[in-house]
Amino acid sequence: MGQDKVLNLYSARHYQTDEALYTNFTKQTGIKINRIEAGENELLERLRNEGAFSPADVFLTVDAARLGKAEELGLFAPVKSKTLTERIPAHLRTDTWFAFSQRARVIVANKTSVNPADVQTYEDLANPKLKGKVCVRSGAHPYNLSLGAAMLAHHGEQKAQAWAQGLVANFARAPKGGDTDQIKAVAAGECGVALANSYYVARLLRSEKPEDKKIMENVTVIWPNQKTTGAHVNISGGGMLKTSPNKESAVKFLEYLVSDQAQVYFADGNNEWPVVAGVKTSNPGLGAMGSFKADTIKVGTLAARQADVQKMYDRAGWR
């Protein structure tokens, strides 16, 4: 096969709806995608072991923390592309990796036990008023590490540490489960408030299942920090690998991911927002959540502070 007819993709995105995304790329370009899907740690380990002989062209994953890890390992090659720089806002890309979709970290509150006015910001989650009311997943999870990196960037170390400690002091129970579990616990009254990624909320809002409808009837979704920094946003993204044997195909694929069509697939398929301005999505889950002000902190900044945040959370006892 010629240089421009194949693309080897290592992906840690496990969404069935991405199928249409890949099929459409092959249809448009004639480039066949060979895909290996696994957890990001497994794929990073594989890339490390393969070294200079890796067949992989592109690595896709979710969260700035994980993309930062790949960057740290020196896996990505810089990409010069007018299409990517014009279509992706500057704060959602670095020289070597790019965001292709966005998800926000929202606050979910129980309608009967918590007054939404008390939880308008991430900072409010550390207010003693919420003692015994906060549910959240592990502090070691990238979603929470990236939020902590934003708090560090906005507030400095002392204030961010105090926030982490205040948050832990408000836990209703030890961190466990994923984001959907936190939303369910809030709906059931096990806790008053929780943090969750927006696409989990949108998924429940789109669901036709009676039990999911009931969950959403019992909770209020709050866009945090609308009067200050904006809601914390994280991403799905990827980049071209240094050792890519099909660099031309790799750049074509990355550029394809910011086409209007691919951006709609991302949004409709996994309830994420496009990164390209002006792309319209008909996703009813996203529509139900309404518009919001997003934090425009650079994704590279979020990625760079992960180790500091983990130490901060460890000191606070957020396991």
- Rounded to an integer, what distance in angstroms lies between the CA atom of residue 73 and that of residue 47? 10
Is 132 in the same domain as 161?
yes
pLDDT in tens, 207-264: 999 999 999 999 999 999 999 999 999 999 999 999 999 999 999 999 999 999 999 9
CA distance 149 to 152: 5
294 is a domain residue:
no
pLDDT over threshold 90, residue 18: no
Using DSSP's 3-state secondary structure scheme, residue 208 falls into coil
Give the three-class secondary structure for 111: coil
Mean pLDDT of the region 268-277 = 88
φ/ψ (deg, to 5) at 33 = -100, 125
Are 125 and 168 in a shared domain? yes
The boundaries of the domain holding residue 272 are 3-102+235-289
Question: Which residue in this structure is represented by tokens 């590490």?
Answer: 145
Per-residue pLDDT tens over the stretch 147-193: 999 999 999 999 999 999 999 999 999 999 999 999 999 999 999 99
Q: Is residue 166 assigned to a domain?
A: yes
| 152 and 24 co-located in one domain | no
Cα 283 to Cα 305: distance, rounded to the nearest angstrom: 33
The pLDDT of residue 314 is 97
> Residues 180, 309: one domain?
yes
Query: Is residue 177, in this structure, part of any structural domain at all?
Result: yes
193-197 and 98-110 strand pairing:
antiparallel
Task: For residue 80, tell me if it sits in a domain.
Answer: yes
Indicate the pairing of strand 32-37 with strand 58-62: unpaired
Q: Domain containing 180 — which CATH number?
A: 3.40.190.10
- Going by DSSP bridges, is the β-strand pair 98-110/273-274 parallel, antiparallel, or unpaired? antiparallel
**pLDDT band at 284, cuts 50/70/90?**
confident
216-221: long-range pairs with CB below 8 Å, 24+ = 216/187, 218/110, 218/111, 218/112, 218/186, 218/187, 218/188, 218/189, 219/108, 219/109, 219/110, 219/111, 219/183, 219/186, 219/187, 220/108, 220/109, 220/110, 220/111, 220/116, 221/106, 221/107, 221/108, 221/289
Are residues 157 and 304 part of one domain? Answer: yes
CA dihedral (49, 51, 57, 61) positive or negative: positive
Query: Does residue 205 lie in a domain region?
Result: yes
The domain total for the chain is 2
DSSP assignment of 173-185: S---S-HHHHHHH
Q: Higher confidence at residue 17 or residue 221?
A: 221
Q: Is the pTM of this model over 0.85?
A: yes
- Please tell me whether residue 207 adopts helix, strand or coil conformation: coil
Give the pLDDT of residue 17: 67
Residue 12 within any structural domain of the chain: yes
Strand partners, 34: 8
